[in-house]
A = this chain, B = another copy of it.
C-alpha cells in the first residue's frame, strides 16, 4: 500500500506552513537558513518526493518531452535519443521514448495519450499518415520532426534530417566514378519525405550520365516502409533476378542493407565481385560484418543534441517561432563493398 508523504506532512514535521516547504523545494524565494534546514531535514527524514501530478496541475507543464519513433529497436533512434536527453536534462526536462511501430493507429493513440499527459513537446518520427492531426495540434504544442516531414500547410514546428539528396548523390556518384552504369536502388516507401529525397538524389546523380530515373526505371525497388529488412531482402532478390542484372546497388538505409546482405550471403552472391553496394547511414558493428559496406555517416549524438536545442527553444518561446529546417550533411566512409568495372 502506498503511503503518500505530502507537503503537509513535511510542514507538520518541520513546524512550518506548506508555503514555506514549497519555497524550499523550489529554491526561488528566500527562506531563513535555519528554517530551511529544518524543512530539509524533515524531507529526508520522511523520504518525501513532491508529487509531480499536483505540480503539473498547477504549473501547466510537465517538464517531459516525448520522442515518438517508428522503431524503438533501431540503433539510430536510440542513439539520437541519448543525444536529445543530454541536452534537455540540463534544462531539467525528461525524455519519454515511445514506439509507434510504423503504425498509423499506434501513432494516433500515442498522440492522444501524450496530449492527456500534457507533455511539453513532442519529437516525432512520424508514420506520415496523420499529417492533418499533427498539423492541428502543432498550433498549441511544440513539435520537432525527426527525419520525416509533415506535408501540411498548417504545420508549425521544426524539421531536422540528413541532407538526403546530397548524401545519396555522392554515394551514387562514387559508383559512377568506378564505371558502373546499371545501378539499382532499393528504397523505402516514397510517401515518406526521407525516401522521396533519397530517390531524388539518386535520380540526380544518374542524370549526370544521361540516365533518366523515374517511376518506370527498371532498377528501382520500392518497399512499403513497414519492414525495411524484408524489403531489403526482397529488393535484392528482385534486382538480381532481372534479365540484365545491375552491377551496383544503392540501399537507402541500413535496415534495407541488412536485408539485402542477408539475401546476397544466402545466395552466394559475392560483394563486390558480383555486385557492388553502397548504403545510406551508419551501420552498427560494421567492422565485423562479412563485408564492410561503403556508407554515409553522421554524428548521431550531434543530431540528437540539435533536436534537443530546437525543442527547448520552442518550448521557452511558447511555440512562437517560425518553422525551421536543419540538414546534417553526411560523409562517405569507404568500405570494401564496391569495385571498379
Name A residues whose Cβ lies closer than 8 Å to a Cβ of B: 1-4, 47, 49-54, 56-57, 60, 62, 72-73, 75, 78-79, 81-82, 85, 94, 96-99, 101, 112-113, 115-118, 136, 140-141, 258, 261-262, 265-266, 284-285, 287-290, 318-319
Q: Is the CB of B2 within 8 A of A141?
A: yes
When distances are taken between beta carbons in the complex, the residues of chain B under 8 Å from A262 are 285, 287-288
* 22 residue pairs from A and B, CB less than 8 Å apart: A1-B140, A47-B136, A49-B116, A51-B116, A51-B118, A53-B54, A53-B62, A57-B57, A72-B81, A72-B97, A73-B78, A73-B79, A73-B82, A96-B96, A96-B97, A261-B288, A262-B285, A262-B287, A265-B287, A284-B284, A288-B289, A289-B289
Contact of A60 among B4, B113, B115, B258 (CB under 8 A): B4
Assembled-state Cα–Cα distance A257/B297 (Å): 24
When distances are taken between beta carbons in the complex, the residues of chain B under 8 Å from A96 are 96-97
Assembled-state Cα–Cα distance A289/B81 (Å): 26
Q: Is the CB of A72 within 8 A of B82?
A: yes
Contact of A288 among B75, B118, B290, B319 (CB under 8 A): B290
When distances are taken between beta carbons in the complex, the residues of chain B under 8 Å from A266 are 287
Q: Answer whether A115 and B72 are a contact pair too, CB < 8 Å, given A262-B288, A288-B265.
A: no
When distances are taken between beta carbons in the complex, the residues of chain B under 8 Å from A56 are 53
Assembled-state Cα–Cα distance A73/B298 (Å): 17
Assembled-state Cα–Cα distance A129/B94 (Å): 22
Q: Is the CB of B52 within 8 A of A116?
A: yes
When distances are taken between beta carbons in the complex, the residues of chain B under 8 Å from A112 are 49
When distances are taken between beta carbons in the complex, the residues of chain B under 8 Å from A94 are 113
Query: Chain B residue with minimal CB distance to A85?
Result: B99
In the complex, what's the smallest C-beta–C-beta distance from A67 to chain B, in angstroms?
10
Q: Is the CB of B288 within 8 A of A258?
A: yes
Q: Is the CB of B53 within 8 A of A57?
A: yes
Assembled-state Cα–Cα distance A266/B53 (Å): 53
Contact of A99 among B3, B54, B82, B318 (CB under 8 A): B82
Assembled-state Cα–Cα distance A265/B286 (Å): 12
When distances are taken between beta carbons in the complex, the residues of chain B under 8 Å from A136 are 47
Assembled-state Cα–Cα distance A79/B73 (Å): 6
Query: Chain B residue with minimal CB distance to A61?
Result: B2
When distances are taken between beta carbons in the complex, the residues of chain B under 8 Å from A284 are 284
When distances are taken between beta carbons in the complex, the residues of chain B under 8 Å from A99 are 81-82, 85
Assembled-state Cα–Cα distance A128/B116 (Å): 35
In the complex, what's the smallest C-beta–C-beta distance from A168 to chain B, in angstroms?
22
Minimum-distance CB pairs A-B, first 9: A53-B56, A73-B78, A49-B115, A52-B116, A97-B97, A261-B288, A53-B53, A290-B290, A53-B57
When distances are taken between beta carbons in the complex, the residues of chain B under 8 Å from A51 are 57, 116, 118
In the complex, what's the smallest C-beta–C-beta distance from A26 to chain B, in angstroms?
13
Query: Chain B residue with minimal CB distance to A50?
Result: B116
In the complex, what's the smallest C-beta–C-beta distance from A249 to chain B, in angstroms?
15
Assembled-state Cα–Cα distance A72/B74 (Å): 10
Q: Is the CB of A140 within 8 A of B82?
A: no
When distances are taken between beta carbons in the complex, the residues of chain B under 8 Å from A285 are 258, 262, 285, 289
